[in-house]
Amino acid sequence: MSDDLTLTSVTKTFGSFTAVDDLDLTVPQGSFFALLGPSGCGKTTTLRMVAGLEEPSAGTITLGERDITRLKPYRRPVNTVFQSYALFPHLTIEQNVAFGLHRQGRKKVDAEVARMLELVELGGMGGRRPAQLSGGQQQRVALARALINEPDVLLLDEPLGALDLKLRRQMQIELKRIQVEVGLTFVHVTHDQEEAMTMADTVAVMNQGRIEQMGAPEDLYEAPATTFVANFLGQSNLVPGKVVRGDAEVLELDVEGTRLTADVARARVRDGAVWVGVRPEKVYLSHAGEEAGDDDNRLHDGIVSDVSFVGVSTQYLVRMPWGQELTVFEQNTGSRDRFRPDDKVDLHWRADHTFLLDASQDATAGVDRVGE
Amino acid sequence: MTGRAGRWVGEHVVLVLGLLVLLYMCIPVFVVILMSFNDPASRNSYTFDGFTWNNWRNVCEPYQLCSSLALSLRVGFLATAVATLLGTLMSFAMARHRFRGRASANLLIFLPMATPEIVLGSSLLALFVGNGAAGVLGFWTIFIAHVLFCLSFVVVTVKARLAGLDPRLEQAAMDLYANEWQTFWRITFPLVFPGILAAALLSFSLSFDDFIITNLNAGQEVTFPMFVWGAAQRGIPPQINVVGTVMFVVALAIVASGQLGSRRRAVRT
Amino acid sequence: MSAATQLPPAPVAAAPAADVGEGAGRRGWTGYLLLLPGALWLTLFFIVPTVSLVSTSLYDPSGSLATGYSMTGHWQNYTQAISDYSPQILRSFVYALIATVACVLLGFPLAYAIAFKAGRWKNLMLVAVVAPFFTSFLVRTLAWQYILGDNEALVSLLRKVHVLGADGYLLDTPFAVVTGLTYNFLPFMVLPLYASLEKLDPRLLEAGADLYASPVAVFRRVTLPLAMPGLVAGTLLTFIPASGDFINSELLGNPRTRMVGNEIQDLFAAGDYPTASSLSITLMAAIVVLVLLYVRRAGTEELL
Ligand SMILES: Nc1ncnc2c1ncn2[C@@H]1O[C@H](COP(=O)(O)OP(=O)(O)OP(=O)(O)O)[C@@H](O)[C@H]1O
Ligand SMILES: [Mg+2]
């Protein structure tokens, strides 16, 4: 089937400010699509255009064969869970939840409403008004109010942001279950990367009104396409380097005088200056000069400058001879002593964990995540 | 040091001062209630001479009191209805629509509030008389004048309520399959309604109370404030205090029931 | 929200907020249609009459209502009105100014107390502010006649404590007139002030207390600037009607406390329409000038 949601070169400007910039996006029908990005990057604006609450300045939005770009919001089989809930203060919870069904001309909805309220764990609260609920409860009403309509596309703008961790995990499972069972298309905006990666079939990382990268969660994480994605999704060490030689499978690199290798599969550029990237948890530390493992890549003579214990792991900052500080995460398996500040260490990792990015980008893009 | 003690005193001083001011505002009302039971020794006496139920039993005794009251109520209701309707429409236009001439419209609404009543009244009189229509002065000229000075207050009150209304609520309704019409009647109107009601109450009180403008444009008609004015020159019948008391109690009841109702519904936006 | 908490007519204060929000901005004819009936009313019964007041003010005063007036562009009406009635005009503004200042001094603590200190009594206090509105204006002013009367408790008390002389009195004095004006227009000060204070986040005051320590500094740097729109609206709603009022002067004053409103009223009653009109226009013009100066000084032009 192909009732895919497709955005084609969609642009939205507010005065001279471009909130969404020439965006192309396809959300396959029945998929769980997560939209990640820093605050103000245009996520809400994108959803609002899909919902019909904002008209694109340019571009088209189609649902299957249907062009819905200029369709009124109430004619679209699309519902939204608003970031600000937008519950109707003068209606009870039940009336809020039943609102969409009633407008579609459905009469007997009580049972359905009760079932839906049960689902979001608000059974028995149907008679209250929104002002009498906590923030998290209101958020669940907003969820129920949209879900009950079983729209073709459900837009969720940070629908779980106000919930505590336990309830959040529980709602994530519920959401995923409903989505799979009913076969709805979910477009889910979230600041919680873990949430995005565990729930979504496809994740898109957005920045300044553009999609930086889109794909399966593992692909995005293991092979980021830009420095922004590398830094925004998890953390990355990015070291300046140069490709000195390469064949069809392996590239040989020079990093501050040390020879490293990388797989072509994870290289966004194959010659010249590059950012050599590796995730902190992929790096193994050993005392300087110590023979350890058979990892292909090794950087010598770092000095441990900071050690912080975070429970499941220990995070090290290692100052390299050229002045850069790299991050290393080590699982607290307890099988060896932790390193101490001022220890001299070497860093090792497997060649196929190395990724290469275009050196013309800012290595710190996406590091300061705002709004988290 | 003195910080904490100073702040404590500061906070309570403000509250005490506020209550004193409130007392000042309410003293005349107490006097009105008291005087409604007065049994004046003479026609010109406006001191409390003795207690009686008489004034309450024979409210309509003074010549024209009840007919003027009836006229004031009639004008009040009619002017309130028309001013509230026109004003609400205008405030929707101002708050929800973009059009050219917005600044002039704002000025047009603001100016009547910034004009002293005596000027408003005399210009209306100049209009009616200048067009040889001195003969038409009466119920309808009073009505026209009252709608005029209530209108701006209605616009301002309803507009404030509209401005406080989150536009996303209406968007959410549209998202949930309500068309423009349904969105208006099911979401916008119920949420703005308290503002409209408040505007109507304000209108009525302004209309019922007005003397200066009415006096200039009433022709042969006599409204309640005009009756009081006339009485004030001749000797004040205590019955006017009965009317004042009743108005006060009715207003209190309306406001209080609105309060209770809203508390029961616990609607807060 | 309830009727009572809605009543604040904070007219000027509320105006600019109306344009925000994505909902604002539908174009097309609907806006004009909605505006039309009210705008027509205001044009027909406010703009046109004002024009006709101006033309009446230029009629030859030798005519009369019965014989008709001739339009002679009689500017002398103005010079006449100003030279004859400048004491009353001046007095009106002085009384209105004193009453407005008194309203600020009385209204600010009250509005502040309602907004921040009243707790669950908030609504009750608001009702108490609004309720006297409904007891007729004239009836209340007559009540002041009683309160300030020569043989009543207040005067006796003041005589006893020698604030007043043995035969001192309050009624029929400028003091009584200003008291009445203050009393009658106080709600118009309290409600807009309350409306703008209420929007003020108490946490802001705490933050201010953190930064400036002294309550006076917090008031000057935080509370006052934020309450400014309400204060401007309140002063306008108090000063303007007070300067045109004649009821208080008539009921609580004496012939030497007559204000310009009394004169206009009497001139109309006497049928001297040209002089009455030119006096009205003079009053209006003076008020417009004063208001513009004031609003400019207060730095709140955009509120108009
Ligand atoms: N109506 C508007 N007028 C002007 N600018 C707007 C408007 N709506 C949004 N913007 C701007 O567009 C940009 C994108 O806003 P948007 O709400 O889409 O961000 P977001 O990605 O949802 O952020 P967050 O994660 O904080 O919710 C922001 O810079 C915002 O200031
Ligand atoms: Mg957003």
Question: In Å, how far is B51's CA from the nearest CA of chain C?
Answer: 16
- Which chains are within 8 Å of B by 3+ CB pairs? A, C
Q: How far from B248 is each of B236, B252, B256, CA to CA, in Å?
A: 19, 6, 12
Written as one letter, the residue type at C49 is P
What residue has token string 């209406």?
B170
Among the partner-chain residues B177, B178, B268, the one whose CB lies closest to the CB of A89 is: B268
Tell me the C-alpha distance between A316 and B116, whole Å. Answer: 76
CATH number at residue C288: 1.10.3720.10
**What is the tens place of the pLDDT at every residue in B126-150?**
888 776 666 778 899 999 999 999 9
The answer to whether position C166 is within a domain reads yes
Assess whether the C-beta atom of A41 lies below 6 angstroms from ligand 1: yes
3-class secondary structure, A261: strand
Domain ranges in chain A?
Answer: 5-222, 235-358
Rounded to 5°, the CA angle B176-B182-B187 comes to: 75
Residues B21 and B31 in one domain: yes
**Phi, psi angles (nearest 5°) of residue A238:** -120, 115
**Phi, psi angles (nearest 5°) of residue B37:** -105, 10
- Cβ–Cβ gap A103/B177 under 8 Å: yes
Written as one letter, the residue type at B47 is T
Residues B175 and B251 in one domain: no
Contact, C213 vs C186, CB < 8 A? no
Contact, A59 vs A46, CB < 8 A? no
Residues B255 and B143 in one domain: no
Tell me the C-alpha distance between A101 and A118, whole Å. Answer: 17
Interface test with B, best of C12, C40, C46, C55 (most B CBs within 10 A): C46
Domain count, chain C: 1
Among the partner-chain residues B169, B265, B268, the one whose CB lies closest to the CB of A88 is: B169
For the question of an ipTM over 0.90, the answer is: no
Residues B49 and B14 in one domain: yes
For chain C positions 15-34, those within 8 Å of chain B (CB to CB) are 15, 17-18, 20-28, 30-34
* CATH level 3 topology of A5-222: Rossmann fold (3.40.50)
The answer to whether position C10 is within a domain reads no
Residues B153 and B251 in one domain: no
Which strand ranges, in their side-by-side order, compose the sheet holding A237-246? Answer: A258-263, A250-255, A237-246, A272-278, A355-358
* pLDDT, tens digit only, all 372 positions of chain A: 468 999 999 999 999 999 999 999 999 999 999 999 999 999 999 999 999 999 999 999 999 989 999 999 999 999 999 988 899 999 999 999 999 999 999 988 999 999 999 988 898 899 999 989 988 889 889 999 999 999 999 999 988 887 888 888 888 888 888 888 888 899 999 888 888 988 999 999 999 999 999 999 999 999 999 999 999 998 999 999 999 988 888 899 999 989 999 999 899 998 899 999 999 999 999 998 887 766 678 998 999 999 999 889 999 999 999 999 999 999 988 888 889 999 999 999 998 899 999 998 888 887 864 433
- CATH pick for A235-358 out of 3.30.450.80, 3.30.420.40, 1.10.3210.10, 2.40.50.140: 2.40.50.140
- Cβ–Cβ gap C55/B130 under 8 Å: yes
**Phi, psi angles (nearest 5°) of residue A7:** -110, 125
**What is the tens place of the pLDDT at every residue in B53-90?**
888 888 787 888 899 999 999 999 999 999 999 999 99
Confidence of residue B11 (pLDDT cuts 50, 70, 90): low
CB < 8 Å to C288, chain B: 114
Tell me the C-alpha distance between C271 and C19, whole Å. Answer: 47
CB < 8 Å to A129, chain B: 265-267
Residues B109 and B152 in one domain: yes
**What is the tens place of the pLDDT at every residue in C144-189?**
888 888 777 777 788 778 777 777 777 888 999 999 999 999 999 9
Per-residue pLDDT, B173 = 95
The answer to whether position C167 is within a domain reads yes
The answer to whether position C102 is within a domain reads yes
Most distant CA atoms of chain C, gap in Å: 74
Written as one letter, the residue type at B174 is M
C290 is in which domain, residue-wise?
79-303
The answer to whether position C194 is within a domain reads yes
CB < 8 Å to C26, chain B: 96-98
Residues B148 and B198 in one domain: yes
Most distant CA atoms of chain A, gap in Å: 77
Q: What is the mean pLDDT of each run of 10 residues along chain C (304 residues)?
A: 36 34 57 91 92 84 62 78 89 95 93 84 81 81 84 77 75 90 92 85 72 73 82 90 91 88 88 87 89 77 46
Question: In Å, how far is B146's CA from the nearest CA of chain C?
Answer: 10
Assess whether the C-beta atom of A207 lies below 6 angstroms from ligand 1: no
Per-residue pLDDT, B265 = 53
List, in sequence order, the alpha helices (H) in chain A.
Answer: 43-51, 93-103, 110-119, 135-147, 165-182, 193-199, 217-222, 227-232
CATH number at residue B80: 1.10.3720.10
Atom of ligand 1 nearest to the CA of A43: 21
B51 burial class (0-12, 13-18, 19+ CB within 10 angstroms)?
A: exposed
Give residue A271 CA to ligand 1 midpoint distance, Å: 38
Q: How far from C117 is each of B8, B17, C107, C113, C211, CA to CA, in Å?
A: 12, 11, 14, 5, 22
Per-residue pLDDT, A175 = 86
- Cβ–Cβ gap B99/C9 under 8 Å: no
Per-residue pLDDT, B3 = 60
The answer to whether B171 faces chain A, any CB pair under 8 Å, is: yes
Among A130, A126, A33, which Cα is nearest to A84's?
Answer: A130
Q: In this structure, which residue's CA is closest to atom 18 in ligand 1?
A: A42
Q: Which residues contact A171 (CB under 8 A, 6 or more apart)?
A: A120, A140, A143, A159, A160, A163
Most informative mutation of A18, A44, A206 for ligand 1 (most atoms within 8 A of CB): A44
Among C225, C248, C141, C238, which Cα is nearest to C189's?
Answer: C238
Most informative mutation of A21, A43, A192, A232 for ligand 1 (most atoms within 8 A of CB): A43
CB < 8 Å to C241, chain B: 116-117
> What 8-state DSSP symbol labels residue B187?
I
Contact, A126 vs A177, CB < 8 A? no
Per-residue pLDDT, C13 = 35
**What's the predicted TM-score (pTM) here?**
0.81
What residue has token string 């006449």?
C80
Q: In this structure, which residue's CA is closest to atom 27 in ligand 1?
A: A39
Residues B105 and B147 in one domain: yes
Q: Which residues surround ligand 2, an ion (CB under 5 A)?
A: A 44, 83
For chain C positions 58-97, those within 8 Å of chain B (CB to CB) are 65
- For the CA atoms of A285, A288, A291, A294, the dihedral, rounded to the nearest 10 degrees, stands at 40
Residues B33 and B166 in one domain: no
Tell me the C-alpha distance between A11 and A7, whole Å. Answer: 10
Contact, B10 vs C105, CB < 8 A? no
Residue C181, H or E segment: helix C174-198
Tell me the C-alpha distance between B254 and A50, whole Å. Answer: 46
3-class secondary structure, B44: coil
How many other C-beta atoms can be found within 10 angstroms of the C-beta atom of residue A164? 9
Residues B224 and B247 in one domain: no
Rounded to 5°, the CA angle B207-C300-C195 comes to: 50
Assess whether the C-beta atom of A289 lies below 6 angstroms from ligand 1: no
Tell me the C-alpha distance between A264 and A223, whole Å. Answer: 11
The answer to whether A72 faces chain B, any CB pair under 8 Å, is: yes
Atom of ligand 1 nearest to the CA of A41: 21
Give the tokens for residue A290.
């110590």
The answer to whether A79 faces chain B, any CB pair under 8 Å, is: yes
Most informative mutation of A41, A81, A195 for ligand 1 (most atoms within 8 A of CB): A41
B204 is in which domain, residue-wise?
64-236
Contact, A328 vs A347, CB < 8 A? yes
Assess whether the C-beta atom of A209 lies below 6 angstroms from ligand 1: no
Sign of torsion over alpha carbons A225, A230, A233, A234:
positive
Contact, B117 vs B54, CB < 8 A? no
CB < 8 Å to C180, chain B: none
- Angle between helix B65-96 and helix B189-209 axes, rounded to 10 deg: 140
Average pLDDT over residues B190-202: 90
Residues B201 and B79 in one domain: yes
Among C205, C187, C208, which Cα is nearest to C9's?
Answer: C187
Per-residue pLDDT, C67 = 58
C43 burial class (0-12, 13-18, 19+ CB within 10 angstroms)?
A: exposed
The answer to whether B172 faces chain C, any CB pair under 8 Å, is: no
3-state secondary structure chain C: CCHHHHCCCCHHHHHHHHHCCCCCCECCCHHHHHHHHHHHHHHHHHHHHHHHHHHHCCECCCCECCCECCECCCCHHHHHHHHHHHHHHHHHHHHHHHHHHHHHHHHHHHHHHHHHHCHHHHHHHHHHHHHHHHCCHHHHHHHHHHHCCCCCHHHHHHHHCCCCCCCCCCCCCHHHHHHHHHHHHHHHHHHHHHHHHHCCCHHHHHHHHHHHCCHHHHHHHHHHHHHHHHHHHHHHHHHHHHHHCCHHHHHHCCHHHCCHHHHHHHHHHCCCHHHHHHHHHHHHHHHHHHHHHHHHHHCCHHHC
Residues B200 and B232 in one domain: yes
Confidence of residue B193 (pLDDT cuts 50, 70, 90): very high
3-class secondary structure, A360: coil
Contact, C107 vs C234, CB < 8 A? yes
Tell me the C-alpha distance between B236 and B65, whole Å. Answer: 11
Per-residue pLDDT, C23 = 40
